[in-house]
Structure 1
Amino acid sequence: MTAADLAPRILEGDRRALARAITLVESGRADHRAQAAELLDTLAGVGRQALRIGLSGTPGVGKSTFIEAFGLRLTGQGLRVAVLAVDPSSARSGGSILGDKTRMEQLSRDPNAFIRPSPSQTHLGGVARRTREAVSLCEAAQFDVVLIETVGVGQSETLVAEMVDLFVLLMAPGGGDELQGVKRGIMEMADIILVNKADGDLKPAAMRTVADYAGALHLLRKRPQDPEGFPKALPVSALSQDGLDKAWEEMTALADWRRAQGHFETRRAEQARHWFEAEVREGLLARLREDPQIRAQMQALGTAVAEGDSAPAAAAARMLALLRD
């Protein structure tokens, strides 16, 4: 199916066409990349926008359970919700389980929801390289909210903040030293911290954790794109569904304030430029890898480094000098 066939069907909200289009943009084949570029360029002028929400959190915190409960809450309000779940790829085999749909059984059957798991492959940042393009396709397909679930919290997993309007960090109660474990970098990027599992015996611990994070957030430097009181920490329970309405209320309030102040469009423009430059860098590296002479030089210098005949920094400097010449 060509880009010309897919575009009108995506604009009508056809989920099958959307799934095929995402498969197309994720493909690494040269002919598929050309078709994907044509499709994205065709849809770029449509101007549809969804609220893009990035969701990250430590493994086992209940991201999938939260997304299902939260997504069902939104579809119950008549909103169309797309979930792009990034699954970690094995460094050894390159494979991914892609089992997020099995953990969101109810949401996956909801006619107003669309769930698409994608492999992270070798890309850092907690997102797949083509996740941003998938977001654009979901917006064109008339989805109101796009949830991007990342692999998990890590030092490199902050790239999702460069493609979303709101960045939500999901944490577990009784974190103890988690403020140090999460690191300041990702704390500074979070717009809202949600402490999950605030139910049953864990509720007191969850409330203490909310207070701890709220205190830590007050110590961070205030950002110009935030109104008074943000970023903030809130308790939620995906199991009992307590706090989900409050979380959505705070998300929409923050998004509305940013739109009114002009921060929303400015941020989106900055993100578009960021991903344009990233694509140029990736394209240049791909061209370098395709050049047989450059590959031979890289192989020779790599061997010298591996055998201890050259320091990595010195070998890299020689390689860059050769490229300049």
Structure 2
Amino acid sequence: MQINPQELAEGIRSGDRRALAKGITLVESTRADHREAAARLLELIMPYTGNSIRLGISGVPGVGKSTFIESFGNHVISQGHRLAVLAVDPTSALSGGSILGDKTRMETLARHPDAYIRPSPAGQTLGGVTRRTRETLLLCEAAGFDVIIVETVGVGQSETAVAQMTDMFLLLLLPGGGDELQGIKRGIMELADLILVNKADGDQQAAANRTVADYRMAVHFLHPRSRHWQVQVEPLSALQGEGVQKIWQTVEEYRQALGDAGEIESRRAAQARAWMWSETADSLLGELKENEAVKALVDQLEADVTAGRIPATVAAKQLVEAFLG
């Protein structure tokens, strides 16, 4: 099938959901001809990107991310916005895509004409998954979605990757228990611009209030990501929709504060530069692995490194020298 990037770009800009789905499938493809068409498509839509607020969301399993995104998303849409939800799940290739279930859990959101939910692209490496998610984010912006949520599944390296492609990072916690009990590393806490204690309802209300108070104290000891913003901690009942309006208000305040300071613009510029070098490294590594001279050396060098006969640095130098010929 012949792909016309110009037609696809026009379809995406006109709000055609089928064109957007085709565009995302194209940027997720690893075929060489598709990568070329995808690069052209991204060039065409670039002038129409950047007009959204990009939100990263993370939390431990069972914290209620899907319920929160459904409740928050519906509120955001009721305020006149269009919402896209993307997922970064480096395990999806192995698990079959744990995020796929979220489309069924976010039932009202999934059916809303002003919402678009996209499961994580299959990819065994975090780098591969985040690369495609970045490109998908740009396509969604070009299609007119002005609030983009990038959800990360699990707690680990993916948080850092998501923080590096968004403007604001939201961390969801459960009532009670410290960081260790919730499996949250200090580094992840330091990524957060807004901490939400979910399930603040029923018999967990008191525990949630105590957790909010504890974290409000704790954030003063953390190094903030921005000198223009003090990390906020808020209670939330995603199930009952309580606190959702306040959270959206906080997002708007954050956007205003960092936008006025020029920090969102400078942060995105730094993200774009980092993305360029990441793409360069990925492309070079791909070329190197396919090089015949390199392939001829790999098995022996891997065996030597594994057996401890030579250090990895020496083996790497030999591979690079073989590649450069």
Same fold (TM over 0.5): yes
CA distance in 1, matches of 2:170, 2:122: 20
Q: CA deviation at 1:302?
A: 0.5
More helix by proportion, 1 or 2? 2
**What are the within-5 Å matches in structure 2 for residues 223-242 of structure 1?**
223-227=225-229, 230-242=230-242
Which amino acid in structure 1 is aligned with residue 309 of structure 2? D
CA distance in 1, matches of 2:306, 2:262: 52
Q: Note if contact 1:127-1:150 (Cα within 8 Å) is conserved in structure 2.
A: no
- Report Cα offsets for 1:134-179 as digits up to 9, x if no partner: 0000100011100111112114531111110111111111123438
Corresponding position: 1:3 with 2:31: no
Report the number of matched residues.
Answer: 322
Residue of structure 2 in register with 1:104 after alignment: 106
CA distance in 1, matches of 2:165, 2:24: 16
The alpha-carbon distance between structure 1 residues 223 and 146, as it changes in their structure 2 partners (threshold 3 A), is: closer
CA distance in 1, matches of 2:317, 2:183: 35
Q: CA deviation at 1:94?
A: 6.9
- Name the SS of the counterpart of 1:157 in structure 2: helix
Match among 54, 72, 75 for residue 70 of structure 1: 72
Residue of structure 1 in register with 2:201 after alignment: 199
Q: Unaligned stretches of 5+ in structure 2? A: none
Residue of structure 1 in register with 2:210 after alignment: 208
The alpha-carbon distance between structure 1 residues 173 and 126, as it changes in their structure 2 partners (threshold 3 A), is: farther
In the superposition, the TM-score normalised over structure 2's length comes to 0.92
Residue of structure 2 in register with 1:54 after alignment: 56
- Report Cα offsets for 1:252-274 as digits up to 9, x if no partner: 10111111111111111111111
Q: Note if contact 1:120-1:128 (Cα within 8 Å) is conserved in structure 2.
A: no
Q: CA deviation at 1:87?
A: 3.7
Match among 30, 36, 44 for residue 34 of structure 1: 36
Q: Note if contact 1:225-1:263 (Cα within 8 Å) is conserved in structure 2.
A: no
Comparing 39-48 and 99-108, the one that deviates more: 39-48
- Name the SS of the counterpart of 1:147 in structure 2: strand
CA distance in 1, matches of 2:151, 2:291: 37
Q: Note if contact 1:86-1:120 (Cα within 8 Å) is conserved in structure 2.
A: no
Q: Unaligned stretches of 5+ in structure 1? A: none
CA distance in 2, matches of 1:35, 1:15: 19
Comparing 112-121 and 232-241, the one that deviates more: 112-121
Residue of structure 2 in register with 1:260 after alignment: 260
- Report Cα offsets for 1:93-123 as digits up to 9, x if no partner: 5742422211111100011101110235222
The alpha-carbon distance between structure 1 residues 257 and 177, as it changes in their structure 2 partners (threshold 3 A), is: closer
Residue of structure 1 in register with 2:24 after alignment: 22
The alpha-carbon distance between structure 1 residues 127 and 234, as it changes in their structure 2 partners (threshold 3 A), is: farther
- Name the SS of the counterpart of 1:78 in structure 2: coil
The alpha-carbon distance between structure 1 residues 51 and 88, as it changes in their structure 2 partners (threshold 3 A), is: same
Residue of structure 2 in register with 1:285 after alignment: 285
The alpha-carbon distance between structure 1 residues 220 and 176, as it changes in their structure 2 partners (threshold 3 A), is: closer
In the superposition, the TM-score normalised over structure 1's length comes to 0.92
Q: CA RMSD in A?
A: 2.2
CA distance in 2, matches of 1:176, 1:48: 37
**What are the within-5 Å matches in structure 2 for residues 55-204 of structure 1?**
55-89=57-91, 93=94, 95-97=96-98, 98-119=100-121, 121-124=123-126, 128-155=130-157, 157-178=159-180, 181-204=183-206
- Name the SS of the counterpart of 2:84 in structure 1: strand
